[in-house]
Structure 1
Amino acid sequence: MQRPLAGLTAKNLVRELTAGVTLLAIAIPLNIGYAQIAGLPATAGLYALIVPTLVYALVVSSRQLVVSPDAAAAALVGSSLGGLATAGSADYSTLALAQAIICGVMFLLMSVFKLGFLANFLSKPILVGFVGGLALDILVSQIAKMLGVKINSGGEFVEKVGDLVSGIGTLNGWSLLISAGSVAVLMVGARLLKAVPWALIVLIISTVVVVLTALDEQGVDVLGEVPAGAPALTWPIIDWSMWLALIPSAMALTLVTTAEGLLVSRSYGEKHRYPFHANRDLFAFGLGNIAAGVQGSFAMGSSTSRTAAMDSAGSRTQLPSIVLAVGTLLLLLFGTALLADIPSPAIGAVVGVAVLPLLGIKEFRELWKQDRFEFAVGAVCFLVTLFVGAIPGILVAFVLALINLAKRAANPAIDVLESDGDPKQSLLEEATTGESTAPGVVVVRLAAPLFFANGAVFASAVKKAVTEASDPVHHVVIDLEAVTDVDVTGAEAFASLEEWLAGEGVSLAFSRARPRTRARLQKLGLVTDQRFFDTNRAAVTALTGPAPATDD
């Protein structure tokens, strides 16, 4: 088993500690904002950076993946809990704890039963659409905060937009000025010096300005008092009916985190050549979420942006996460007074700029160029998530994934090889493709498992090859090299095809079958050993005799 803090040496210790300080500067302002997105107090975002982060860092196999609540997770928490309790209330916070615990249990079960493959159903278009819908919903709330306009942050997207438009007349000029300056610093700074923690600089400068000019008395909203002290252990006390009501949203959080987290973890492991263990990472996510649920935080997953920042900083271990946990604890113990006067417009600017890449504009543009159907899948998922809700969005995502899978499975690659009657051409085909046929023989190759979704399609393709051949067909050879399995419906398609071929006076043989496929066909009662050949050439020779000699 991999030891904790694998990859840490005396040579890279200073670099890892420095990266930890950078991570601290990035994570604190973002987590305060994400907690507000989730409808929770700032402490919920900060508590996530202590025990859950520490537990995860000591268990996970990935040396670089940073765990934390992110914008998408926070939005999903807020949208799923908004209909069950009032944001900011004690009941709401309790539900958030219970939701995190359910997520943790699901991660542990996925780890034990090795179910990480389920996340593969969330393809790139689906993830882009789902996360993009959540991001736009977040962005509307942050724009309202940047303008100093009060809206119902727990409402639906249309309601939020309506509140924002109708409330433009109450816009606070100082809030607009702070947010505009913050956005300018964040956008320009990121282009000039990416390694600088611009989010922290923005919050520090804007807080100093508010304190010196008393802008909070001019209508600029500030974060307010943040309770000091370390997080305490707790347990959510709710009815069983509420536990059950939280399962769908917890499942959505778990699947999205699994898909994104394992993908990012694997990519960095391959990039820097260290081992990656998916089930262990799921186990770490499980323990981290349970820790979040029992010490006052909310559901958490992987942070792609922070992981990328640590990679750019040269970090190759989990030590920065440990530095983050220790630094956040010290802040809660001795420095919460520094947080009270942080202006909300600056927090909105930090979060708004952070979620802009999640809108998926670049990804949607690429999907439009590459595959219109995949673009449509992502667009539908985006619209459902945005206008109907996050949970319907994830359900639609799975339905679209299955439709996409069925669409591709129902249209497998089917190759047809037939002779044009010219022996020299047959020899040329053998020289260039390694295969040849003879007049009256058609070879058909299916490059997919034969099952219920494509059995009829395959049978139709064979019939078409026979009826449209240039010469009368007497023999058909089915090349099974790429067929890995056959189900009962596929077998029935085979049997029906054989019956049709017999009626047309055409014999049927098989070549290059895998041992498993051969055994499966024999078990289904379709074929005998006499009808199998090792190569296409052997099948053609057996059916027609040796090819005639030709002049050079």
Structure 2
Amino acid sequence: MQKPLVGLSRRNLLRELTAGVTLLAIAIPLNIGYAQIAGLPATAGLYALIVPTVIYALTVSSRQLVASPDAAAAALVASSLGGLAVAGSADYSTLALAQAILGGVMFLLLAFFKLGFLANFLSKPILVGFVGGLALDILISQIAKMLGVKIDSGGEFVDKVAGLVTGLPGLNWWSVAISVVAVAVLLLGKRFAGAVPWALVVMILATVVVLVWHLDEAGVAVLGEVPAGPPAITWPIIDWTMWLALIPSAMALTLVTTAEGLLVSRSYGEKNGYRTSPNRDLFAFGVGNIAAGASGSFTFGSSTSRTAAMDQAGSRTQLPSLVLAAGTLLLLLFGTALLADIPSPAIGAIVGVAILPLLGIREFRELWHADRFEFLIGAACFLVTLFVGSIPGILVAFVLALLNLAKRAANPAIDVLQATGEPGDSLLDGAAKGQVTAPGVIVVRLAAPLFFANGSVFSDAVKRAVRAADGEVRHVVVDMEAVTDIDVTGAESFEALLTWLEREGIDLSFSRVRPDAVRRLEQLDLLGDRARYVTNREAIAAIAGERPEDEE
């Protein structure tokens, strides 16, 4: 097993420590905002940066992946728990703990059974649409916070928009001013001095302004008192029916985190030349989320933006995450009084700017130009997530993924190939769709497994090739090099094709069959008297009209 903090040395120690300070400056304001999105107290976001972060950093295979609650996870928590308890209540917080523990157990099961591939069903269009829908829902809440308008942040998207519009006459101009300046600083600062932790700068300056001019008395909402002290070890006590009710949302959180986390982990490992282990990363997410649920936090996953920031800072170890944990603990022990007067409009601006890239505007534009069908998949997932809910959104995502898979599998590449007819040469040389490959012989190649989605498609393609051929067809040779498997439904379609070929007086042979496929053909009774397995040389001889010689 890989040792913790692999890659750390005396030469990069100072750089890693400096990156940790940068990560601390980025994470504190964002996690406070994400906790509010989730409907939880600020401490829930800060607690996630201590025990869960340490456990994750010491168990993950990636040297750079930063784990933390993010906007999408926070929105999922809020939307899934909003119907079970009142946001901000003790019952709501308890459910969030239980949800994190359930997700952790699911991560461990994925790691144990090596099922991380299930997340591959969440393709890019689906992730773009799903996360984009969550991001827009979050953005409405943050805009309301920036304008000083009170809305039900746990309500449906349409209700939030309606509440924002009807509340505009009562907006607070001081909140608007703070928000406008904060957004300008964040956007311009990122463009001209990206290495500066502008979120922390905005939070500090906005707090100073509120304190100096007593803007809280002018109607500007502030964070309020944050309890001091380290996280306490706890365990959610809820009825077993509530545990069952949390399973769908925990599953959704697990799948989204798995898809994004493993992708980011692998990409940075390949970029910087070190190996990662998907199953170990899943294990790290599992034990980390169980720790989150047992220490007063909520579900966390991978943070793409923070991982990118650490990569740009030159970090190549998990030491910055440990620095983050230590710094957050010190803040909770000695500095919570500094957090009480942070203005909510500033937090809204910080979170709003952070989630803008998650809307997927650029990605949707690329999908529109690259593949209209995949664009529609992403758009459908976006709309369902936004107007129906996150859990229906993830279910629709899987259905759309299966439809996309079936659509592509049902239309495999099927070629009628030109044979050389020269003994000793390869059987297949170039493509000539719809033509006889040699007098009386057609060679057909299926570039996919033969199964229920394409069995009839392949059968129809062979029949069309026979009917379109010039002259009488006596032999059909099926090139099986790319056929890795055959299911029962595919075999039944093949049986019907064999019967049709027999009626037409046409022989069928298989060429270049994989060993596993040979066994599968025998098991399905597709070899024998009705069809035979031939070598390349035998097929070439048949095409050339010669008697095959014995193989030496």
Name the counterpart of 1:173.
173
**Distance between the aligned counterparts of 1:132 and 1:542, measured in 2?**
58
**Distance between the aligned counterparts of 1:298 and 1:325, measured in 2?**
16
Q: How has the CA–CA distance of structure 1 residues 24 and 298 changed in structure 2, closer, same or farther, with 3 Å as cutoff?
A: same
**Distance between the aligned counterparts of 1:6 and 1:338, measured in 2?**
35
Name the counterpart of 2:535.
534
Deviation at 1:538, TM superposition (A): 3.5
- The percentage of aligned residue pairs carrying the same residue is 75
> 1:130–1:382: 8 Å Cα contact kept in structure 2?
yes
Name the counterpart of 2:110.
110
Amino acid corresponding to residue 350 of structure 2 in structure 1: V
Please state if 1:295 is matched with 2:295: yes
Amino acid corresponding to residue 323 of structure 1 in structure 2: V
Deviation at 1:433, TM superposition (A): 7.1
> 1:418–1:469: 8 Å Cα contact kept in structure 2?
no
Deviation at 1:544, TM superposition (A): 4.6
Per-residue Cα deviation, 1:460-516 (whole angstroms, up to 9, x for no partner): 000000001122211111000000011111111111111101111211111100111
Deviation at 1:244, TM superposition (A): 0.7
User: 2:450 is paired with a residue of what secondary structure?
Assistant: coil
Deviation at 1:274, TM superposition (A): 1.1
Give the 5 Å matches for 1:261-280: 261-280=261-280
The range that moved more, 409-418 or 353-362, is: 409-418
**Distance between the aligned counterparts of 1:443 and 1:178, measured in 2?**
72
Name the counterpart of 2:504.
504
> 2:417–2:432: 8 Å Cα contact kept in structure 1?
no
Please state if 1:369 is matched with 2:369: yes
**Distance between the aligned counterparts of 2:150 and 2:495, measured in 1?**
68
Amino acid corresponding to residue 531 of structure 1 in structure 2: R
> 1:116–1:278: 8 Å Cα contact kept in structure 2?
yes
Deviation at 1:261, TM superposition (A): 0.3
Name the counterpart of 1:245.
245
Name the counterpart of 1:183.
183
**Distance between the aligned counterparts of 2:271 and 2:128, measured in 1?**
23
Gap runs ≥5 in structure 1: 548-552
> 2:418–2:432: 8 Å Cα contact kept in structure 1?
no
Deviation at 1:255, TM superposition (A): 0.4
Name the counterpart of 1:79.
79
TM-score normalized with structure 1 length: 0.95
Give the 5 Å matches for 1:267-416: 267-416=267-416
**Distance between the aligned counterparts of 1:71 and 1:383, measured in 2?**
18
User: 2:99 is paired with a residue of what secondary structure?
Assistant: helix
> 1:130–1:394: 8 Å Cα contact kept in structure 2?
yes
Give the 5 Å matches for 1:199-214: 199-214=199-214
Amino acid corresponding to residue 533 of structure 1 in structure 2: V
Give the 5 Å matches for 1:154-165: 154-165=154-165
Gap runs ≥5 in structure 2: 548-552
Name the counterpart of 1:98.
98
Amino acid corresponding to residue 442 of structure 2 in structure 1: V
**Distance between the aligned counterparts of 1:302 and 1:332, measured in 2?**
23
Per-residue Cα deviation, 1:355-402 (whole angstroms, up to 9, x for no partner): 000000000001111111111111110000000000000011111111
> 1:45–1:69: 8 Å Cα contact kept in structure 2?
yes
TM-score normalized with structure 2 length: 0.95
Name the counterpart of 2:452.
452
Deviation at 1:417, TM superposition (A): 2.2
Give the 5 Å matches for 1:434-449: 437-449=437-449
> 1:418–1:441: 8 Å Cα contact kept in structure 2?
no
Name the counterpart of 2:193.
193
Deviation at 1:297, TM superposition (A): 0.4
Taking only aligned residues, the RMSD between alpha carbons, in angstroms, comes to: 1.9
Deviation at 1:323, TM superposition (A): 0.1
Amino acid corresponding to residue 376 of structure 2 in structure 1: A
Name the counterpart of 2:31.
31
User: 2:310 is paired with a residue of what secondary structure?
Assistant: helix
Amino acid corresponding to residue 206 of structure 2 in structure 1: S
**Distance between the aligned counterparts of 1:542 and 1:429, measured in 2?**
11
Q: How has the CA–CA distance of structure 1 residues 489 and 166 changed in structure 2, closer, same or farther, with 3 Å as cutoff?
A: same
Amino acid corresponding to residue 479 of structure 1 in structure 2: D
Per-residue Cα deviation, 1:278-337 (whole angstroms, up to 9, x for no partner): 111111101110111011100000000000000000000000000000000000000011
Name the counterpart of 1:550.
none
User: 2:478 is paired with a residue of what secondary structure?
Assistant: strand
Please state if 1:218 is matched with 2:187: no
Q: How has the CA–CA distance of structure 1 residues 353 and 443 changed in structure 2, closer, same or farther, with 3 Å as cutoff?
A: same
Amino acid corresponding to residue 374 of structure 1 in structure 2: E
Name the counterpart of 2:550.
none
Deviation at 1:429, TM superposition (A): 10
Q: How has the CA–CA distance of structure 1 residues 36 and 309 changed in structure 2, closer, same or farther, with 3 Å as cutoff?
A: same
User: 2:345 is paired with a residue of what secondary structure?
Assistant: helix
Deviation at 1:94, TM superposition (A): 0.6
Q: How has the CA–CA distance of structure 1 residues 431 and 333 changed in structure 2, closer, same or farther, with 3 Å as cutoff?
A: closer
**Distance between the aligned counterparts of 1:431 and 1:379, measured in 2?**
42
**Distance between the aligned counterparts of 1:326 and 1:429, measured in 2?**
67
User: 1:477 is paired with a residue of what secondary structure?
Assistant: strand
**Distance between the aligned counterparts of 1:285 and 1:485, measured in 2?**
34
Give the 5 Å matches for 1:8-23: 8-23=8-23
**Distance between the aligned counterparts of 1:505 and 1:167, measured in 2?**
79
**Distance between the aligned counterparts of 2:429 and 2:341, measured in 1?**
79
Per-residue Cα deviation, 1:31-87 (whole angstroms, up to 9, x for no partner): 000000000000000000000000000011110000000000000000100111111
> 1:441–1:540: 8 Å Cα contact kept in structure 2?
no
The range that moved more, 517-526 or 283-292, is: 517-526
Deviation at 1:440, TM superposition (A): 1.5
User: 2:509 is paired with a residue of what secondary structure?
Assistant: strand
Per-residue Cα deviation, 1:428-455 (whole angstroms, up to 9, x for no partner): 9977679993111111000000011110
Deviation at 1:531, TM superposition (A): 2.2
> 1:110–1:282: 8 Å Cα contact kept in structure 2?
yes
Please state if 1:2 is matched with 2:11: no
Per-residue Cα deviation, 1:195-218 (whole angstroms, up to 9, x for no partner): 110000000111111100001111
Deviation at 1:522, TM superposition (A): 1.4
> 2:417–2:429: 8 Å Cα contact kept in structure 1?
no
Deviation at 1:116, TM superposition (A): 0.6
Per-residue Cα deviation, 1:167-214 (whole angstroms, up to 9, x for no partner): 000110000000000000000100001111000000011111110000
The range that moved more, 483-492 or 458-467, is: 483-492
Name the counterpart of 1:60.
60
Q: Which runs of 4+ in 1 moved over 4 A?
A: 427-436
Q: How has the CA–CA distance of structure 1 residues 272 and 418 changed in structure 2, closer, same or farther, with 3 Å as cutoff?
A: closer
Report how many residues are paired.
Answer: 542
Q: How has the CA–CA distance of structure 1 residues 156 and 519 changed in structure 2, closer, same or farther, with 3 Å as cutoff?
A: same
**Distance between the aligned counterparts of 1:407 and 1:352, measured in 2?**
37
Please state if 1:473 is matched with 2:473: yes
> 1:438–1:540: 8 Å Cα contact kept in structure 2?
no
User: 1:167 is paired with a residue of what secondary structure?
Assistant: helix
